[in-house]
Amino acid sequence: MSKMEISKADWKLYRERVPGWQEHYMEQLTKEYVELLTSPGNASDHFWTLEKRIRQDKKNPGVLIELRKSTAIWDIAYLVGDGVITMDELEGFSEDLIDAVKLILGR
């Protein structure tokens, strides 16, 4: 696959949207954590399950991502593939970027 370059307009839009995407994703995670903590069972089990879950979730780009122009298209595809965002949330981006994301995802 040839190297995919993100346009200046798409790069600007991506940098503007990532914080909101991450905030929304972390809101979802927090709700899941609350459900876990309030479910029946031992507090110690909840604590260790939550600790493991947070350790895993911190590695997700929905929580922490290094904004690099060279990997932006791949990162966007990963965000979609991982359920952090939907294809609908790419509205406003160029058709080229959306097509590249679809190609990466094999859709």
Is 62 in contact with 22 (CB distance < 8 Å)? Answer: yes
Query: What's the CA gap between 10 and 15, in Å, rounded?
Result: 9
What's the pLDDT tens digit per position in 6-42?
999 999 999 999 999 999 999 999 999 999 999 999 9
- Which H or E element spans position 98? helix 95-105
pLDDT given for residue 107 in this prediction? 65
Give the pLDDT confidence score for residue 1 in this predicted structure: 42
pLDDT score of 43 more than 60:
yes
Is residue 60 over pLDDT 90? no
For 62-82, give one letter per residue: b (16+ CB within 10 A) or e: beebeeeeeebbebbbbbbee
Summary mean pLDDT of the chain:
93
pLDDT for residue 2 is more than 60: no
Sequence-separated contacts (24+) of 94-101 with Cβ below 8 Å: 94/7, 94/9, 94/10, 96/7, 96/10, 97/6, 97/7, 97/10, 97/73, 100/4, 100/73, 101/73, 101/76, 101/77
What percentage of the chain reaches a pLDDT higher than 90?
89
Q: Looking at residue 28, what is its pLDDT?
A: 95
Give the per-residue pLDDT at 90.
97
Cα–Cα distance, 27 to 2 (Å, whole number): 36
Say what the pLDDT of residue 5 is: 86
